[in-house]
C-alpha cells in the first residue's frame, strides 16, 4: 500500500503540473487576444467544487465545497408565456439577461474568470467563451457573436489560442530536461559496462539470446545505451546482433517477428545485477524473516545465485511457499533464513539499483550547455516516441495500451526528484504530441479545421463542429476505457 500511495502521489502531482501549464497556455493566448475565459479549473468538478474564486468589483470572492454555478440559461417563452420548442419538441433555451440575475450571482460578472479546484484529481480544463468544445454551451453559441468570444477572432489568433497548450507542454519539457541535465547531469550505464550481462524475456531467449549475454553491436554498430538497443530491435527492425558469451563473440540473427513477440510478452532485456537489500518494508515477509538493509543474497533453496533477476524469478515460482535464503550480512557473517514470498512472489524489500554495482558514465552540464542539450533531448524523445507509435497499430501493440495504472507504474517506488522531473518531462512531450493529433475534440482537431478555414475561406458550421467534437469525445472516452480496462485486466490476471 505504501508503494502504491507513493506512485499515486507522484502521478497526481505530475499530471497536475502538466495540465495546469497546458491549460495556462490556452489561457495566456486567449487573454493576449482579449478573449474571455469563463473557467479555469485544476482537477474535474462534476456537481460541486472543493474551492472556487472569482474577482468581482476588484476583489476576490471565495467559496468552498459549494455547488457549481449553473449555466446562464432559461426556457424561452413567447408573448403568451408559453414554452417555445424546437422541431423535436425540446424546449428552446435563451440566455438570462444579466440585470435579471440576483445580486451575488457570479453569472452577473462574465468578464472575469472563475478559478477553481475540483475533486477528481486527474486533469483540469480551461473554458474559453465562444468556443465549441465538450461542454457544448449551445445557448451561448446560439446568440450573436461578441467581440470578446473565441469564434469572433481571426483564424491566426484562434490557431494560437488552440496551440497554446501544446506549446506550453513542449516548452515545459525542454525546460525540465535542461534543469535535470544542469542539476544531475546525464548519467547512464552503457551496455559495455553490463559486466553481468543482460536478462532476457522468453521471446528473446527463443531468438537465440542467453541470460548473461552482453550485447555489443547491432547491425555492425556499437550500442551506447539501453535506449539504442530498444530502438534498433523493436522500432527499426534491425536483426543482426553481436553478443559476448563466456568470453567469446557470437553473431545472432533475429527473426522478423521478434518485435511482435516482445510486445506480446510486454517485457524487454534488462541489465543483470546482484540482489542486495536496500530497505525492508514494515510488516512484510522479509521483516518476519529478519532480513535487514545491506543483506546480500547469494543462494536460494540450496542453489547458488546472487543475480537480482534470478532470485526474483525463484521467488515468483514459490509463492506462499517456504524458501531458504542464504545471505551475507554487512558485518561479513554468512546467515540463513526462511522466507515466504506472498501471492505476488514478493517478500517486501527494496533492492539496491543497478548503478550501485555497474559503472556509470556521466556527462555534466553548466547552465549555458544545459539549455541546448535539454532542447536536443526533448526533440530526440519526441522523434523516438513518434517512431514507437507504429508499434501501437499492431495486434500486440494494442494489447499493451495502458491507462493511468501503466503511467503510474513508470514512477519509482521511492520518491526521487530526479526520476520525477525526468518522467514529468517525458509525459509532457507525450501530452503535447497526443493533444495535437488531428482528432476532433483534441487541440489538433481544432487546428485542422482552422487550417481548412484558412485555405478555403469558409468556416465549418457550428452544427458540424458540434457533431465532430461529440464524435471525437466519444472516441477518446472509448480509448480511455480500453486503456484503463487493459490495466485492470493485467492486474486481475496477476492475482490468479
pLDDT tens readout for residues 301-356: 999 999 999 999 999 999 999 999 999 997 788 999 999 999 889 999 988 989 89
Task: State residue 371's pLDDT score.
Answer: 95
Q: How many CB atoms lie within 10 A of CB 418?
A: 12
What is the C-alpha to C-alpha distance for residues 202 and 209, in angstroms, rounded to an integer? Answer: 9
**Lowest-pLDDT range of 56-60, 287-291, 323-327, 461-465:** 461-465
User: Residue 471: pLDDT band by 50, 70, 90 thresholds?
Assistant: confident
The DSSP element (H or E) to which 17 belongs, if any, is helix 2-32
Here the cell at position 113 is 474568470
Query: Taking the complete model, does pTM exceed 0.85, yes or no?
Result: no
> What does the alpha-carbon distance between residue 445 and residue 333 come to, in Å, rounded to a whole number?
65
Q: Give 440's contacts (C-beta < 8 A, 6+ positions apart).
A: 468, 469, 471, 472, 473
Cβ–Cβ < 8 Å for 196, 307: yes
**147-186 residues labelled b (16+ CB within 10 A) or e (exposed):** ebbbbebebebbbbbbbbbbbbbbbbbbbbbbbbbbebee
Check residue 495 and give its pLDDT.
45
Is 21 or 462 the better-scoring residue by pLDDT?
21
Question: pLDDT digits over 138-192, tens only?
Answer: 676 667 788 999 989 999 999 999 999 999 999 999 999 999 999 999 988 999 9
Q: Torsion angle of alpha carbons 459, 460, 466, 469, nearest 10°?
A: -100
d(CA 279, CA 173): 32
Name the pLDDT band for 399 (thresholds 50, 70, 90).
low
Amino acid at each position: 500500500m505504501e508503494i502504491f500511495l507513493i506512485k499515486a502521489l507522484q502521478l497526481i502531482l505530475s499530471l497536475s503540473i502538466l495540465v495546469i501549464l497546458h491549460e495556462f497556455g490556452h489561457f495566456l493566448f486567449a487573454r493576449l487576444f482579449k478573449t474571455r475565459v469563463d473557467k479555469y479549473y485544476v482537477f474535474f468538478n462534476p456537481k460541486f467544487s472543493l474551492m472556487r474564486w472569482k474577482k468581482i468589483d476588484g476583489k476576490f470572492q471565495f467559496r468552498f465545497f459549494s455547488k457549481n454555478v449553473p449555466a446562464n440559461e432559461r426556457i424561452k417563452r413567447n408573448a403568451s408565456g408559453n414554452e417555445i420548442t424546437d422541431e423535436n419538441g425540446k424546449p428552446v433555451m435563451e440566455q438570462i439577461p444579466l440585470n435579471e440575475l440576483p445580486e451575488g450571482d457570479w453569472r452577473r460578472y462574465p468578464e472575469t474568470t472563475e478559478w477553481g479546484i475540483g475533486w477528481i484529481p486527474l486533469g483540469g480544463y480551461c473554458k474559453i467563451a465562444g468556443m465549441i468544445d465538450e461542454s457544448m454551451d449551445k445557448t451561448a453559441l446560439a446568440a450573436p457573436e461578441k467581440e470578446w468570444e473565441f469564434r469572433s477572432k481571426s483564424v491566426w489568433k484562434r490557431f494560437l489560442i488552440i496551440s497554446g497548450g501544446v506549446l506550453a507542454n513542449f516548452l515545459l519539457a525542454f525546460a525540465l530536461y535542461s534543469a535535470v541535465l544542469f542539476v544531475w547531469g546525464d548519467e547512464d550505464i552503457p551496455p559495455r559496462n553490463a559486466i553481468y550481462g543482460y536478462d532476457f524475456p522468453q521471446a528473446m531467449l527463443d531468438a537465440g539470446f542467453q541470460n548473461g549475454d552482453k550485447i555489443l553491436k547491432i547491425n555492425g554498430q556499437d550500442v551506447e545505451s539501453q535506449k539504442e538497443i530498444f530502438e534498433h530491435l523493436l522500432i527499426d527492425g534491425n536483426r543482426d546482433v553481436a553478443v559476448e558469451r563466456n568470453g567469446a563473440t557470437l553473431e545472432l540473427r533475429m527473426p522478423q517477428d521478434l518485435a511482435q513477440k516482445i510486445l506480446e510478452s510486454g517485457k524487454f532485456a534488462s541489465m543483470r545485477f546482484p540482489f542486495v537489500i536496500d530497505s525492508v518494508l514494515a510488516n512484510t515477509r522479509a521483516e518476519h524473516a529478519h532480513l535487514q538493509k545491506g543483506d546480500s543474497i547469494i543462494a536460494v533453496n540450496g542453489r547458488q545465485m546472487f543475480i537480482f533477476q534470478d532470485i526474483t524469478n525463484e521467488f515468483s515460482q514459490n509463492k506462499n511457499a517456504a524458501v531458504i535464503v542464504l545471505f551475507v550480512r554487512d558485518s561479513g557473517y554468512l546467515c540463513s533464513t526462511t522466507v515466504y514470498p506472498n501471492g505476488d512472489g514478493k517478500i517486501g524489500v527494496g533492492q539496491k539499483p543497478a548503478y550501485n554495482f555497474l559503472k556509470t558514465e556521466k556527462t555534466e552540464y553548466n547552465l549555458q550547455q544545459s539549455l541546448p542539450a535539454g532542447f536536443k533531448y526533448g526533440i530526440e524523445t519526441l522523434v523516438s516516441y513518434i517512431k514507437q507509435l507504429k508499434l501501437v497499430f499492431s495486434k500486440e501493440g494494442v494489447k499493451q495500451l495502458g491507462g493511468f495504472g501503466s503511467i503510474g507504474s513508470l514512477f519509482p517506488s521511492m520518491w526521487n526528484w530526479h526520476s520525477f522531473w525526468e518522467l514529468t518531462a517525458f509525459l509532457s512531450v507525450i501530452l503535447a504530441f497526443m493533444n495535437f493529433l488531428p482528432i476532433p475534440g483534441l487541440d489538433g482537431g481544432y487546428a485542422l479545421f482552422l487550417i481548412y478555414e484558412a485555405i478555403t475561406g469558409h468556416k465549418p458550421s457550428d452544427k458540424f463542429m458540434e457533431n465532430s467534437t461529440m464524435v471525437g469525445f466519444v472516441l477518446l472516452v472509448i480509448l480511455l476505457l480500453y486503456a484503463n480496462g487493459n490495466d485492470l485486466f493485467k492486474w486481475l490476471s496477476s492475482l490468479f
